[in-house]
Amino acid sequence: MRAWFFSENAYHLLADASEYESIRVQLPNRYYDPKLGADLYHRFIDEWLIAEELGLEIMVNEHHQTATNLNPSAAVVMGALGRVTRKARLLILGNPIANRREPVRVAEEMAMVDVYSHGRLECGFVRGVPYELSAGNHRPTHMMERFWEAHDLIVKAWTSHDGPFNWEGKFFHHRQVNIWPRPYQEPHPPIWITALSPASAREVGAKGYVVACFLTGWDGTQAVFGAYRARRAELNLPEAALDRFAYAALVYTGETDEEGYAGARKLLWYIESNKVPPQYTSPPGYHPISSAVTAMKGSASAGIFRLFKNPAPLDEYMERGLVFAGNPDSVYRQIKKMYDHVGGFGHLLIMGQAGFLDHDETVKGMQVFAREVYPRLGELERDS
C-alpha cells in the first residue's frame, strides 16, 4: 500500500463564518493577506518535502475562488515540487478537465511536470465540485460528456509523436495538435479518476485507470469499487490489481488516542468551514434530475455535499470511515476495517493538514503515521 500526503493549502485565517455568506465563489479576496499567504505556501511546500523524507508520496489538488484551497493551478505548485523533490511520486488529483477550456494546455502542463520530475507524475482527472461552475462560468450540463472528450484529446496529445493531428469534436476544436514536450513516461503518466458514485466508476473500470474515492465512507466506497470491479467482469477484462483503488480520508495519528483525536478535530475544519449557499452546491445539471427531486423533497443530498451542510462530531465521521484517527494501533485497525470492507485498496490518500492544525502538529501526525502505521499496511496486502 502506498500512502500519499495531501493538503488543500487552505487559507484559514478568516473572520467568523457568521460574517460571510459563502467561503467559496464570492468571498471577497480582501480577506486574503498575500504576505501571510506567501508564508503559508512555503510552509505547505515544506510539509510536502517532509512527507517525502518520511517515505510518503505527494498529492496536490486544485480549486478555484475559495479560501478552502489556495491552489487554483495544481500544475504550478507541482512544477515547484517537481524541481525540489527527488523520489516521491507526484499525484495531481486532479485536473478538472470538464472545466478547462483548453485540454491541450492541460496535456502540455502535465507533460512538462512529468519531464521536470523525471517521470514521477501521476495524473488525475476530476469532474470538479459544483462550486467551481459559477467560479469559472462553466456550463453544468453535459459535463461528463465534456470530461471524456477532454480526456480523449489529452491522451491523444500525449501519445501522438508524428506531427500534428486534427480534433473537431463537440466541445473542443484544434487543427494542429503537436505538444512539446511529450511526457517522460511511456506511453503517458498513469491516469487516476475520482468517482463518488457507482455510475461514474464503471467507465473508469472499463479503462483500467486508478479510481479514487474521496470521503465516501464504508458503503459509498464499497459501491464505487464494486461497480469498477463489476464493469471489468462484464467486459471480460482481467481482475483489477489493488493499485487501481484509492481511498481518501482525513487521517491524524498521535502517540495516544487523545492526541490523535485532537489532531483529527482540527482537520474537521475542512468540513465545518464549508459554508456554501444552495445556488453553488446544486447548480442545475450538475446532479442528476433524480437527486434534485430528492433534495426538493427535503431529503439529504448525496455524499460529501451533505456533510458540508451538516457537520457532525468526530466520532460520527470515524464510525462512517471518513476519518482515521487515534494512536497507531487505532489508526491501523480503522484502515484495516475499511480495507476489508471494500475489497482492498492500494493507495491511502491522507488529508493530513487543514485549518488550524499547525506545522508542528501536521508534521507530528505524519511522523507517527510513517513510523508506526505505514510499515504495517504492507500486512494488509499480504493477508488478502
**Residue ranges that bind another protein, judged by CB under 8 A:** 25-26, 133-134, 137, 139-142, 277-280, 283-285, 289, 292-293, 296-298
Rg of the Cα trace of the chain? 20
Q: In whole angstroms, how close is the CB of 133 to another protein at the nearest point?
A: 8
E-assigned strand segments in 106-161: 121-126
What is the torsional sign of CA 33, 34, 36, 41?
A: positive
Q: Which is nearer to another protein, 308 or 369 (CB)?
A: 308
Q: Which is nearer to another protein, 94 or 130 (CB)?
A: 130
In whole angstroms, give the CA distance from residue 349 to residue 346.
10
Q: Which is nearer to another protein, 25 or 58 (CB)?
A: 25
In whole angstroms, give the CA distance from residue 99 to residue 172.
12
Name 323's bridge partners: 250
Q: Which is nearer to another protein, 194 or 282 (CB)?
A: 282
Q: In whole angstroms, how close is the CB of 297 to another protein at the nearest point?
A: 6
Q: In whole angstroms, how close is the CB of 203 to another protein at the nearest point?
A: 20
Q: Hey, what's the cell of 321? A: 470511515
Q: Which is nearer to another protein, 67 or 224 (CB)?
A: 67
Q: Which of 19, 5, 20, 23 shows the shortest CA–CA distance to 271?
A: 23
Q: In whole angstroms, how close is the CB of 285 to another protein at the nearest point?
A: 4
Beta strand 2-7 with 90-96 is unpaired
Note whether 131 and 281 are within 8 A (CB): yes
Q: In whole angstroms, how close is the CB of 136 to another protein at the nearest point?
A: 11
Q: Which is nearer to another protein, 141 or 256 (CB)?
A: 141
Beta strand 173-177 with 165-168 is antiparallel
Q: Which is nearer to another protein, 35 or 297 (CB)?
A: 297
Q: In whole angstroms, how close is the CB of 288 to another protein at the nearest point?
A: 9
Q: Which is nearer to another protein, 274 or 353 (CB)?
A: 274
Q: Hey, what's the cell of 238? A: 482481467
E-assigned strand segments in 236-290: 245-253
Q: In whole angstroms, how close is the CB of 143 to another protein at the nearest point?
A: 11
Q: Which is nearer to another protein, 15 or 289 (CB)?
A: 289
Q: In whole angstroms, how close is the CB of 301 to another protein at the nearest point?
A: 13
DSSP letters along 184-208, please? SSSS---EEEE-SSHHHHHHHHHHT
Q: Hey, what's the cell of 32? A: 486574503
Q: Hey, what's the cell of 131? A: 462550486
Give Cα 153 distance to the centre of its chain.
Answer: 22
What is the torsional sign of CA 244, 88, 39, 326?
A: positive
Note whether 95 and 147 are within 8 A (CB): no
Q: In whole angstroms, how close is the CB of 99 to another protein at the nearest point?
A: 12
3-state secondary structure of 80: helix
In whole angstroms, give the CA distance from residue 310 to residue 155.
39
